[in-house]
Structure 1
Amino acid sequence: MTSHSAPLAALRGLSDSLGHMRHLITQIFITLFLALPLQAQPVTVFAAASLREALNEIAMQYPDDVTLSFAGSGTLARQVAAGAPADAVVLAHRDWAMWLDARGLILPHTTQEVAGGQLVLIGAPDAVPIPNTDTATLMSALNGGRLAMGQRDGVPAGTYAREWLQHIDAWDVLSSQLAETDNVRAALALVAQRAAPLGLVYASDAMAEPRVRILHSIAADAHAPIRYPAAAITETGRDFLEHLSTPQAIAIFTKHGFAP
């Protein structure tokens, strides 16, 4: 028995040493892991086309990577409903946010309004301002051309435009003179390229395009209030929504022509 005790003791000592080394290595790995920076949480945001410049700038201030996808609000909402991988949405009409909410596609109690807007009538830089708008004046300014605006049912800017034209009793006549587009930026482009003499867009759009000028600012009470609702679809999206409410983000919205 005695002859075997020394090797056994040596083995036990070696086992204890190996156990101590494993424990030490584990502690080193834990320390190194804790010292590493937190893994970035990239966020994908679907946003109304009119928010392009403002959200691009806001995204640059966000601590993680942001992928922005711009289109008309109706198109974006339907893409989310079809399973598109978005973490948050920023739309141009509350109806589309409510449409998503009714389908259980956004996180409860995350919908918030992040900005407001104003509808304006635009034309070429050399076009004459139109202080008073009615059917005859608009038809004269069109001079056989078309009025560019977002699609009346799927694009919020088009919905507001229709409400305004109905408000001034011009819809029945002008509805046959429209060039309706998939998003408000496409309507802006038609006027900027002189493919349409007049367009109805947001003031923030007009500010972003030097090839157009505002011919008439439309009163806020001539259509439903223009609000931009945002909502989270994932927890990552919730973090981005909080960023949209910071003073820095609000200042950027204001700089680009949006109301707080």
Structure 2
Amino acid sequence: MTFHLLGRLTKIAVAVTVAGFTTIASPAMADDTVTVFAAASLKNALDAANAEWTKESAKQTTVSYAASSALAKQIESGAPADLFISADLAWMDYVAEKKLIKDDTRSNLLGNRIVLVAPKDGAKTVEIKEGFDLAGLVGDGKLAMGAVDSVPAGKYGKAALEKLGVWASVEGKVAGAESVRAALALVSRGEAPYGIVYQTDAAADPGVAVVGTFPEESHPPIIYPVAILSESKNADAAAYLEFLKSDKAAAFFTQQGFTLLK
């Protein structure tokens, strides 16, 4: 009985970790592993950069990808990590106000754009301008976005639609997703006719096409800040942060469509 119960509890614990799309590091993690909490939209570029870091330094990285809001809340709850890379300033400000980052390590690393995407087959260009008929385009379907009250891409998207005067017409059609990558998947699978995601996400998914780019002045600047967390005792964290700002790492970010702010 005891053995079977232990086995069931172990399976439950593993299932929770997988379902959460994060890899929570142990406080006893090896000294040569840098643990990073990073916005989901960074996955392709950061995975490539981290492979280069490991090749050069023989050090490892463990990355948890999720919405910046979810990661900030995990950090607040004491999840052990060395660095946080947010997809907006607000969630970095949130952890900073709680004294959870080393302020002198904070900087703005990357920039991005938001775009309108559609399933690749049959996609047609949309002119994104004030008053454009997004509601008519979406029809009886859903507009896939990150959750507009928490996920940075969703907040940027809502701001742009409000600025362009079309938010009220599509608010009831929004399918709010837990992360920008989840919103992208809805469009890629054909479950939503349109979605608002970062241009870097669109570039990473061959199942979607960019049909329009939102004017930069329609939303706050999209900025990815990075910082070392206050509880980090990892001697490699500072070196890893410097690597992220290096020309070698920059190549992986620009290949995915990010702009450099360092």
TM bucket, shorter chain? 0.7 to 0.9
CA contact (8 A) 1:88 1:238 kept: no
Aligned residue type for 2:46: L
Alpha-carbon shift at residue 238 of structure 1 (Å): 2.6
Is residue 2:229 matched to residue 1:238? no
CA contact (8 A) 2:41 2:200 kept: yes
Flag the structure with higher helix content: 1
Q: What 5-or-longer segments of structure 2 have no aligned partner?
A: 1-29
Of 185, 190, 196, the residue aligned with 1:194 is 190
Of 162, 171, 195, the residue aligned with 2:158 is 162
**Secondary structure of the corresponding residue to residue 83 of structure 1:** coil
Q: Deviations over 1:27-62 (max 9, x none)?
A: xxxxxxxxxxxx962111000000000000111111
Q: What 5-or-longer segments of structure 1 have no aligned partner?
A: 1-38
Could you tell me which residue of structure 2 aligns to residue 97 of structure 1? 92
What is the alpha-carbon distance in structure 2 between the residues aligned to residue 210 and residue 76 of structure 1? 27
Is residue 2:135 matched to residue 1:139? yes
What is the alpha-carbon distance in structure 2 between the residues aligned to residue 40 and residue 55 of structure 1? 20
CA contact (8 A) 1:40 1:65 kept: no
Is residue 2:176 matched to residue 1:180? yes
Alpha-carbon shift at residue 136 of structure 1 (Å): 5.7
CA contact (8 A) 1:121 1:216 kept: yes
Could you tell me which residue of structure 2 aligns to residue 249 of structure 1? 249
CA contact (8 A) 2:128 2:214 kept: no
Could you tell me which residue of structure 2 aligns to residue 60 of structure 1? 51
Aligned residue type for 2:245: S
Is residue 2:124 matched to residue 1:128? yes
Of 35, 39, 56, the residue aligned with 1:48 is 39
Instruction: Tell me how large the CA RMSD over aligned residues is.
Output: 1.3
Aligned residue type for 2:140: G
Alpha-carbon shift at residue 135 of structure 1 (Å): 5.0
CA contact (8 A) 1:43 1:66 kept: yes
**Secondary structure of the corresponding residue to residue 104 of structure 2:** coil
Alpha-carbon shift at residue 199 of structure 1 (Å): 0.2
What is the alpha-carbon distance in structure 1 between the residues aligned to residue 100 and residue 220 of structure 2? 25
What is the alpha-carbon distance in structure 1 between the residues aligned to residue 216 and residue 50 of structure 2? 29
Aligned residue type for 2:180: V
Q: Deviations over 1:165-193 (max 9, x none)?
A: 10111111211110001100000000000
CA contact (8 A) 1:149 1:178 kept: yes
Could you tell me which residue of structure 2 aligns to residue 226 of structure 1? 222
Alpha-carbon shift at residue 108 of structure 1 (Å): 2.3
What is the alpha-carbon distance in structure 2 between the residues aligned to residue 196 and residue 134 of structure 1? 23
Alpha-carbon shift at residue 75 of structure 1 (Å): 0.2
What is the alpha-carbon distance in structure 1 between the residues aligned to residue 243 and residue 128 of structure 2? 40
**Secondary structure of the corresponding residue to residue 133 of structure 2:** helix
What is the alpha-carbon distance in structure 2 between the residues aligned to residue 150 and residue 56 of structure 1? 22
Aligned residue pairs total 222
Alpha-carbon shift at residue 134 of structure 1 (Å): 5.2
Is residue 2:88 matched to residue 1:80? no
Larger Rg: 1
